[in-house]
Amino acid sequence: MTPSTSTTDTTNTTPFFVKLEARCKDIQSLLCVGLDPHFKELQLPATATLEQQCDAAFSFCKTIIDATLQFSACYKPNAAFFEALGDHGMITLKRVLQEIPPEIPVLLDVKRGDIGTTAAAYAQAAFQHLPNADAVTLSPLMGWDSIAPFVTEQYSHKGAFLLCKTSNPGSNDLLALNLSTNETLFERIAALSQQWSVQHGASLGLVVGATDASALKKARMAAPNAWILAPGVGAQGGDLEAALESGLNTEASGMLIPVSRGISQAEHPRVAAKELVDAINAVRDKIVAGNNNNNNKTNDFDMAATSSTTPFSSSSSSSIQPYQMEFLEFSLHVGVLKFGSFTLKSGRISPYFFNAGLFATGASLFQLGSAYAAAIMASTELVDSNSNSTPKFDVLFGPAYKGIPLGAVVSAALYSQFGINVGYAYNRKEAKDHGEGGTLVGASLTGQRVLVIDDVITAGTAIRESYDLLQGVGATMVGVVIALDRAEKRSLDDPVSAVQAVQRDLGVSVVSIVNLPQLQTFLEQYPQLVPGSDETTLESVKDYRAKYGV
Catalytic residue among 268, 297, 432, 547: 432
d(CA 14, CA 102): 11
116-123 and 144-151 helices cross at what angle (nearest 10)?
A: 30
What are the distances in angstroms from CA 171 to CA 25, 26, 175, 178, 187? 32, 34, 6, 13, 13
Q: Are 33 and 263 in contact (CB under 8 A)?
A: yes
Collapsed DSSP state (helix, strand, coil) of residue 535: helix
Active site annotation includes 434: yes
What's the per-residue H, E or C state across 176-224? CCECCCCCEHHHHHHHHHHHHHHHHCCEEEEEECCCCHHHHHHHHHHCC
One-letter amino acid for residue 24 of the chain: C
Q: Degrees (nearest 5) of the Cα angle 326, 328, 331?
A: 105
d(CA 195, CA 82): 34
For residue 460, how far is the Cα from the chain centroid? 32
Q: Degrees (nearest 5) of the Cα angle 313, 314, 315?
A: 90
185-200 and 362-377 helices cross at what angle (nearest 10)?
A: 50
d(CA 312, CA 314): 7
What are the distances in angstroms from CA 371 to CA 128, 368, 412? 38, 5, 12
Q: Is the dihedral of CA 242, 248, 252, 255 positive or negative?
A: negative
End-to-end CA, the chain = 40
Beta bridge partner(s), residue 549:
488
For residue 146, the tally of other CB atoms under 10 A from its CB is 21
Catalytic residue among 76, 434, 542, 547: 434
d(CA 77, CA 463): 58
Active site annotation includes 286: no
Concatenating the DSSP letter of every residue in 350-381 gives EEEEE-GGG--SHHHHHHHHHHHHHHHHT-TT
Collapsed DSSP state (helix, strand, coil) of residue 152: coil
Catalogue the active-site residues: 432, 434
